[in-house]
């Protein structure tokens, strides 16, 4: 089966980077909202999860506190100490269809990785806002 392309709206990308900078030196975590299609996953916007907890090497939220929302396609979180690659803890707490990780200094696409539930890198594109 062909892997889906992840399309990320420019405003969502900007929000993820700004939130990561605001949370630094702690990890920040966000929910990704959008649409899932046959050929692509579209990330339209982000949302701060209820009762999110931020630490120097972790961030989490109680999944049971989330409202039923079929537009949630995954999560985004920051890695304040560097590499935008999923850790074992990240994979054990995977939620949704896609995970975005941004790493310090949170400035460009080069500081971002997009992953599936197996930890494999996904192809992604930034898109213009409507």
Domain boundaries, given as residue ranges, for the chain: 5-124
Please write the tens of the pLDDT for every residue from 8-57.
Answer: 999 999 999 999 999 999 999 999 999 999 899 999 999 999 999 999 88
What is the per-residue pLDDT for 3?
66
- Contact by Cβ (8 Å): 15, 129: no
CB 24 within 8 A of CB 78: yes
CA distance 25 to 124: 27
- Report d(CA 46, CA 12) in Å as an integer: 6
- Integer-rounded Cα Rg, in Å, for the chain is 13
Q: Say if strands 98-103 and 40-47 run parallel, antiparallel, or are unpaired.
A: unpaired
Does 2 have pLDDT greater than 60? no
Residue 112: phi, psi to the nearest 5?
-135, 145
Q: Are 80 and 104 in contact (CB under 8 A)?
A: yes
Predicted confidence band at 79 (pLDDT cuts at 50, 70, 90)?
very high
Q: Express each pLDDT in 80-126 by its tens digit.
A: 988 899 999 999 999 999 999 999 999 999 999 999 999 999 999 99
Q: Is 37 exposed, middle or buried (0-12, 13-18, 19+ CB in 10 A)?
A: exposed
CATH number attached to the domain at 5-124 = 3.40.140.10
pLDDT reported for residue 1: 46
């Amino acid at each position: 089966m062909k892997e889906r392309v992840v399309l990320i709206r420019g405003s969502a990308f900007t929000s993820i980077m700004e939130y990561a900078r605001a949370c630094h030196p702690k990890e920040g975590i966000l929910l990704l909202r959008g649409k899932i299609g046959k050929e692509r996953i579209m990330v339209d916007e982000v949302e701060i999860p209820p009762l999110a907890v931020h630490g120097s090497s972790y961030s989490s939220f109680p999944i049971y506190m989330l409202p039923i929302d079929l537009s949630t396609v995954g999560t985004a979180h920051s890695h304040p100490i560097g590499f935008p690659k999923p850790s074992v803890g990240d994979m054990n707490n995977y939620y949704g269809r896609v995970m975005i990780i941004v790493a310090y200094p949170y400035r460009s696409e080069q500081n971002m990785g997009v992953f599936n539930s197996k930890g494999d890198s996904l192809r992604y594109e930034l898109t213009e806002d409507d």
